[in-house]
Structure 1
Amino acid sequence: MNTSPFASPENQELLVNRYQLQKVIGKGGMGEVFLASDVLLGGTPVAIKFLSETVVNPKVQANFNREALLSAALSQKSIHIVKAYDYGVSKGGKAFYVMEYLSGKSLKELIPISLPIFLNLLRQICLGLQCAHKGITVDGQIHPLIHRDIKPANIIVIPDPMLGQLVKILDFGIAKFLNSATPNRTKGFHGTLPYCSPEQLDGGELDSRSDIYSLGVMMFEMLTGKKPWQPETNYFGAWYKVHQFEKPRAIADVNPYIEIPQQLNDLIMACLEKKPENRPQNIDKILQILANIEKSSQQQKVTNVDKKSTADFSLGSEYSEKITHSYGQLIWPKDKPTQEIVFPQLIDTQEVSLCSVWLMLPQEEIKNRAVTKRYNQFIFITSPHPMLLWLTVLYNRQLGPKWLPCYLDMQNPHNLQLVSALAANNSYPLFLFTLEPPHNCVHILNSNIAPAQRQKLKTWVKQSQQLPSSSQSQVSKKLLKQHYKQIQDQILEHLEGVA
């Protein structure tokens, strides 16, 4: 009786007199993946994938050898495609291929992800696809490779000292082999239903635009954590219906608290077009759009960082002088604890209401932060409760960042008034009070608000007034706190870059 925990019959002996199987590290519709050691290379760890189809027909074996050879050649051309070292057929007729062992995580385990990480990983995925779609030259002929099964489970993300996170794409060319090995399969289809293009489900001829459709589904999921559609069942018929006839859901409807550039939203929706001719026609076009998005994003961040000196305070109105000259008379509120805290405060003058941030710090830290860079960001969610995160960051290269988050319940009338005042000016003052007695305001800083952000604040105030009342403010606050933690590293990386 076989007491081995592994399903493969080859685990009791060396596979092709070279590889010792150790344990199953992955399972899927295409087969099983084993961790193994290469005894000819001193026990070097490798990953071996046994495909689900048996290979007994010489023609099928020839097809497998061809696809495996092309995939191995492709893996040597791009750092973003998992390296394939060897391939063959086991004694039991199972096709297998040997690849590098990667100690990372699948993209499926990481999503949803923040926008900066999304852009970094997506660019690498596209570079891998671009290399494959341009093809491999064999005997003077170019052979383009279509993946046919792009999905988060086939993307591995590993730590990298240069890129931070390195993307590797798995299983190139394997879906094509499996499809040719099972020609009578339903509609000639072999893939993963939620990510398949309409033409793939129809069993039609595929080109790189089919991968682009699958990439669009994955992009949507990377940002929202959900698919663009929600069919009634997971059966073929239900997925066929949504891919062929139903429009994808809007990103803002699926995940209302994420904010992405309109150009990126348009790109994702273009990738999800039903007809191949309506999608981006190649990966080059997608990479160009991503470069434009990253450039615009970088420019936007720079405008949010105030590089002026603290003496350069300006609200852009006649009220700035009055505020500047009277800040020393401000008194720390009696209802606030005398500790290092931050809160928003409405300042009423005879002419206008101004929104400000008040914070208490040790006097020495205030002195050391006399010259500091400022950054702000506003993040709003409507569901389950309208809530705004108003984030200000003070950055000094020696002291590091001072994070100043304020969470505002947008169904609170006072907060609505506060945010309306915030949107009415092109900047807001930060009043710094000493932690030591007599707790005076001894310094004032200024943080500029980008025009696009001011317009969003006005829109969010209107949205909040139209939404029904809710009792789940703490749930929304928790969601915003989670998102805040996710974006801190990216904000800090940017501030260090412009310091």
Structure 2
Amino acid sequence: MNKSPFASPSSTGLVANRYQLKQLIGSGGMGEVFLANDILLGGTPVAIKFLTQTVVDGKMQQDFAREALMSAALSQKSVHIVRAYDYGVNEKGKPYYVMEYLSGKSLKDLIPVSLPMFLTLSRQICLGLQCAHQGINIDGKICPLVHRDIKPANILVIPDPILGQLVKILDFGIARFLNYASTASTSRGFNGTLPYCSPEQLDGEKLDGRSDIYSLGVMMFEMLTGKKPWEPETDYFGAWYKAHHFEQPKAIADVKPTLKLPQKLNHLIMSCLAKKASDRPQNIAQILQVLNSLEQSSCPTLPTTLASRSILSRPIDSRLPITLEETCRQLSWPENKPIQEIVFPQLIDTIQKSVPALWLMLPKEEIKNYAFSTRYNQFIFITSPHPMLLWVTVLYNRGLTPKWLPCYLDMQNLANRQMASLLAENEHYPLIFFTLEAPNSCANVLSSRIEPTGRQMLKTWLQQSQNLPPASQPHLSKQLLKQQYKQIQSRILQHLESKPQVVLSGSI
């Protein structure tokens, strides 16, 4: 691999006086990706993508800034689109994106995949594309985004405790900018990856979401078979132009005879590969409808990827030890806490030991509504710039608004470390409900189970927090955790809404 000019010894490796470049972690047709540390946020790791195109004039820089802003705004709307935090142009005129750093595998390296995995990944890819095609609001105007370069190399698959695998679509906005830049500097306005380009994209026509649907069809074919729908004699533009415009795609059954594919799915993929945009599914919602029906029929319970991770736990009638429940019911609302709808963690002292618990105050009717709820918990920990743990509990009843109970624990605080230690030791923790109405007495006690993997992670994080040097920026870590909390809420709901009413737990 040639040494990158961005990491040359003569350079400080510092971008925008904020991002310290560490190492090259990827390269491709669109540019190079570096691992970097965000100095402003205490060394938080980020990924920076430098684009191949050089910004040669003010108009191009404005165009890049607009695409970057739209991409960043889009990433706030969907967990399936990689988050873009910042952008700029370096001293050499190279534009760059600053993105979340994710540890996962490219879909390109996972192909071919099993049918259950295909359904899981395809559905998430579609959810990300649907969000983009629906558009974002820029100055009061809805602006749809077309990716223009959907291919396996632009799909990242990362481990996820809720979905098993979480899909992230990369490079939104970049393809459009490069298309503009190439038009400005050459006579040909094409930019994309030839095997996945729609006929209208090869013709340089104005594109809409149906072009992405064509690219998605090529990718879905490849995900199942390991092959592309066409095999032209060369990889030159002319050969692929002929294939996409005039040659019919191969039949999946011919490419992989051993694959038992539902006819409905076969028809869906082939319709995505139609030469005319008007003959394809007209929007992602139509594709999702088919994928959802297939997932329900082939996976009536949990997907294999979830079941193997033991996300489901005990049924809803699991209870705390009677003595502990009785102790909880005799408690009074602390005098130093306000009479309002709040939640906070506090230890309960029993004869045998101290027990971590969540105390919460709600109106009586709301307490009744959640008496038979699914309970789900999740833990997120960050070490930098300040060690902090987010402990989330969700009360879920179908048809009711979920009750989210987040608690932030500063892990340099001795009492909070004790709380985390006891959470790691106990399989269950109680949720103690007090009425907002007088006399503010205990109205119910429920339990939430922590999976063994979650307890082990808590032990690991506890050890890490004890070995870290002193820090003094808890507010920055809390803000970072709040961002992650917003991201995972949609994933948790997506999971809970598709499953039977059971007590669930998990950890990140």
TM range (shorter): 0.5 to 0.7
How many angstroms apart in 1 are the aligned matches of 2:187 and 2:219? 24
TM-score (norm 1): 0.58
Alpha-carbon distance in structure 2 between the residues aligned to 1:105 and 1:9: 24
Aligned to 1:110: 110
**Number of matched residues?**
300
For 1:89 and 1:175, locate their aligned partners in 2 and report how far apart those are by CA, in whole Å: 17
Map of 2:182 onto structure 1 = 182
How far off its partner does 1:255 sit?
A: 1.1
Taking the TM superposition and a 5 Å limit, the aligned residue runs for 1:24-423 are: 24-183=24-183, 185=186, 187-298=188-299
CA offsets, 1:330-349, max 9 Å, x none?
Answer: xxxxxxxxxxxxxxxxxxxx
Secondary structure at the aligned position of 1:147 is classed as coil
How far apart are the structure 2 equivalents of 1:32 and 1:117?
A: 29
Distance (Å, rounded) in 1 between the aligned partners of 2:46 and 2:295:
36
Query: How far apart in 1 are the matches of 2:125 and 2:134?
Result: 14
Residue 261 of structure 1 aligns to which amino acid in structure 2? P
Counterpart amino acid of 1:176? R
- The gaps in structure 1 that reach 5 residues or longer are 302-493
Asked if structure 1 preserves the Cα contact closer than 8 Å seen for 2:154 and 2:171, the reply is: yes
Secondary structure at the residue paired with 1:219? helix
**Matched-pair contact (CA < 8 Å) for 2:67–2:177:** yes
Q: Tell me how far apart the structure 2 counterparts of residues 185 and 25 of structure 1 sit (CA, whole Å).
A: 30
Instruction: Give, in angstroms, the shift of residue 227 of structure 1.
Output: 0.3
Q: State the alpha-carbon separation in 1 of the partners of residues 154 and 13 from structure 2.
A: 29
Cα displacement (A) at 1:61: 0.2
Q: In the alignment, which residue of structure 2 is the partner of 1:436? A: none
Partners of 1:78 and 1:135 in 2: CA distance = 12
* Per-residue deviation, 1:295: 2.6
Distance in 2 between residues matched to 1:254 and 1:7, nearest whole Å: 43
Q: 3-state SS of the aligned residue for 1:53?
A: coil
Q: CA deviation at 1:185?
A: 4.3
Q: State the Cα distance separating 1:300 from its structure 2 match.
A: 12
Cα distance in 2 for partners of 1:60, 1:131 equals 26
CA distance in 2, matches of 1:253, 1:7: 46
Equivalent position amino acid for 2:259 in 1: I
State how far apart, in whole Å, the 2-side matches of 1:26 and 1:195 are: 21
Q: Distance in 1 between matches of 2:85 and 2:207?
A: 27
Is the Cα–Cα contact under 8 Å of residues 9 and 92 in structure 1 kept in the other structure?
no
CA contact (8 A) 2:82 2:99 kept: yes
Higher relative contact order (CA 8 A, sep 6+): 2
| 1:299 shift after superposition | 6.3
Q: Retained in 1: the 8 A contact 2:182–2:190?
A: no
Q: Compared with structure 1, are the counterparts of its residues 93 and 9 closer, same or farther at alpha carbon in structure 2 (3 Å cutoff)?
A: farther
Alpha-carbon distance in 2 for matches of 1:289, 1:93: 45
- Per the TM alignment, residue 5 of structure 1 is displaced from its structure 2 partner at its CA by 3.8
Matched residue SS, 1:213: helix
Contact in 1 for aligned 2:182/2:188 (Cα 8 Å): no
CA distance in 2, matches of 1:235, 1:172: 25
TM superposition score normalised by structure 2: 0.57
- Give the AA of the match of 1:33: V
Which string of whole-angstrom CA distances, capped at 9 and with x for unpartnered residues, describes residues 364-387 of structure 1? xxxxxxxxxxxxxxxxxxxxxxxx
Secondary structure (helix, strand or coil) at the match of 1:8 reads: helix
Residues 234 and 58 of structure 1, relative CA distance in 2, 3 Å threshold: same
In structure 1, C-alpha distance between the alignment counterparts of 2:249 and 2:186, rounded to whole Å: 27
Report the Cα offset of residue 139 of structure 1.
Answer: 1.0
- Percent identical residues: 70
Distance in 2 (CA, whole Å) between partners of 1:48 and 1:35 is 7
C-alpha displacement of 1:23: 1.1
2: CA distance between counterparts of 1:169 and 1:294?
21
Matched residue type, 2:5: A
Paired position in structure 2 for 1:488: none
Determine the C-alpha separation between the residues in 1 that align with 2:234 and 2:242: 11
Amino acid at match of 1:240: Y
- 1:271–1:279 CA contact under 8 A, matched in 2: yes
Classify the secondary structure of the residue corresponding to 2:52: strand
Give 1:17's aligned residue: 17
